[in-house]
């Protein structure tokens, strides 16, 4: 999946990612692209958002994180 789709992501919620000891703080954003649930992992470098990965979200995880 292309990271270019990040521009189309309608972000509904953002959570800090504490699952692993990453070298820099990571965030996970859950949102929709064309009505389908997606999860974006990213980090902030100054004012710039650096996308790490974009994937379809599992529906159970999506429902857990998005009210």
pLDDT at 1: 73
Report which DSSP code applies to 3: G
Q: How many domains in the chain?
A: 1
Q: Write the DSSP assignment of 5-53 as a string of letters.
A: GGGG-EEEEEEE--SS--SS--EEEEEEETTEEEEEEEEEETTEEEEEE
With a threshold of 0.75, does the pTM exceed it?
Answer: yes
CB atoms under 10 Å from CB of 38, counted, come to 22
* Domain housing 57: 3-65
pLDDT in tens, 16-41: 998 899 889 999 999 999 999 999 99
What's the mean per-residue pLDDT of the chain? 93
């Amino acid at each position: 999946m292309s990271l270019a789709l990040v521009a189309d992501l309608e972000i509904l919620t953002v959570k800090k990612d504490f699952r692993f000891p990453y070298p820099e703080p990571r965030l996970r954003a859950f949102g929709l692209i064309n009505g389908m649930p997606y999860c974006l992992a990213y980090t902030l470098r100054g004012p710039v958002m650096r996308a790490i990965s974009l994937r379809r979200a599992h529906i159970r995880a999506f429902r857990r994180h998005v009210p």
